[in-house]
Amino acid sequence: MGKLSLNGKDLRKIGYPESKVIGIAIQVMHQYYKHSAEAEAIDILKDVLAAPDAYLEDAALGKIAAALLDEIRPKNDVIPLEQKRKEYAIYGFENIEMGAINQMEVAMKLPVTVAGALMPDAHQGYGLPIGGVLATNNAVIPYGVGVDIGCRMCLSVFDMPGDFVNDNVEKLKGFLTRNTVFGSGGTIKNPMDDAVLERKEFNENKLLKSLHDKAFKQIGTSGSGNHFVEFGIIEIKQSTEKLNIPPGNYLGLLSHSGSRGLGAAVANYYTRLARELCKLPDVAQHLAYLDLNSAEGQEYWAAMNLSGDYASACHHQIHKKIARSVGAQVLGMVENHHNFAWKEMYNGQEVIVHRKGATPAAKGVLGIIPGSMTAPGYIVEGNGIANSIQSASHGAGRKMSRTAAKNNFNQKMLDEKLNEAGVHLIGGDIDESPMAYKDINEVMQYQNELVNIIGMFKPKVVRMA
């Protein structure tokens, strides 16, 4: 007798709801009834669907019955938060606004929450605070990943001395101007081809299919706000196995951006869907989650991973074009997401780790923690500290909102700060003034147990939207 093979279409035909029940039922049948004929398995599933209460005590079918009964409850029921929040670590408490801490307090009361941590660059966002790390049990929170899925850093170390930048500012400005496109609607007339655009997910998901043309036109571009591409001087302090470059000063290129219109559309669509399917109290509505056993959860997970890979491809195209313009070879590259979710192990349990503005810092993992347009960024190696869920900050973090920055600073103040630091800026705006950010060196001190510093990047020629 052949091995049983069931899919979601088979279960929907016999009346199973489009929900996590389908995934659970398929898993149970393939595990416990794998040698049954398809017709026999379908009959069993029909019986459970007709009278789930009768199967609750069954060791195998009880799992399907419980999931079915959960579906029957009124859809307008609000899922309550837990009375007591779980404990979580806070790094640099005295430097974090209460709005961010209040958001983390709510997140730690979700019924799916396993663990959490707040990084020293944290500030208030939507749902999970920026700088928040949250581990959940088999559930993914679209707003826990963020609107800019796969927002990330990418650093190229060129085979050229760092002081090259001092005598070639105008030339480097030209390289940035000609090879970068910024802004929320930014597109490229003749974009480079990329394997990520051929991914099967674009044909398997109706939403992704509708976004393919935009993704094609925007590949190799950068967003607005705090996104940038910049030349600077890299100081390698120590060589590592993963960045085998001798200590010294090098010309470097650092970029910060995400998945463009593709990721934004995915985030907005699945956040709305999560709020429809997972009704939480008003204070937690932006933390609505999708069960990864559900069709919707699996769809989002696939779309999120595609968006992350697309973001990576955008950075790689920018770096490739600029390296070619400079006439340089890349000695090494360091890159990392800081708006994403990963399947990881925590205390012996597989969890979904959301890092919304946080850098992965597992043992030996390299990452980039930028400062501001005038402050240094750091190349770091993670120490794998469990208390932080193997995470670190994703930058200096804002100490002032964009509106407050515009009200408190002006162009003259920004120019003075740039001149003082010897930084040449193309584009940019007052709301991204370095004065609106926390002191990156203080932030690094708060997390010195989380990462080791192996290098530094000093920005010199910066392009922003």
Place 266 in a pLDDT band, splitting at 50, 70 and 90: very high
Place 52 in a pLDDT band, splitting at 50, 70 and 90: confident
CB 321 within 8 A of CB 220: yes
What is this structure's pTM?
0.83
| Cβ neighbours for 230, distance < 8 A, ≥ 6 positions apart | 176, 253, 254, 255, 373, 459, 460, 461, 462, 463
Beta bridge partners, 70, equal none
Place 2 in a pLDDT band, splitting at 50, 70 and 90: low
Q: Is the pLDDT of residue 131 over 90?
A: yes
Cα(142)–Cα(309) distance, integer angstroms: 17
pLDDT per residue as tens digits for the range 273-308:
999 999 999 899 999 999 999 999 999 999 999 999
Place 55 in a pLDDT band, splitting at 50, 70 and 90: confident
Instruction: Say which CATH topology domain 152-194+203-258+306-337+358-464 has.
Output: tRNA-splicing ligase RtcB (3.90.1860)
Place 360 in a pLDDT band, splitting at 50, 70 and 90: very high
pLDDT per residue as tens digits for the range 153-205:
999 999 999 999 999 999 999 999 999 999 888 899 888 899 999 999 999 99
Beta bridge partners, 437, equal 398
Between 67 and 311, name the one with better pLDDT. 311
Rounded CA Rg of the chain: 24
Range picked from 40-44, 136-140, 407-411 for highest mean pLDDT: 136-140
When pLDDT is averaged across residues 197-215 and rounded to a whole number, the result is: 96
Q: Is the pLDDT of residue 388 over 60?
A: yes
Cα(462)–Cα(373) distance, integer angstroms: 7
Residue 140: what pLDDT?
Answer: 98
Cα(424)–Cα(364) distance, integer angstroms: 34
CB 454 within 8 A of CB 224: no
Q: What is the rounded average pLDDT for all residues in the chain?
A: 94
Residue intervals of the chain classified under CATH 3.90.1860.10 are 152-194+203-258+306-337+358-464
Chain centroid to CA 302: how far? 14
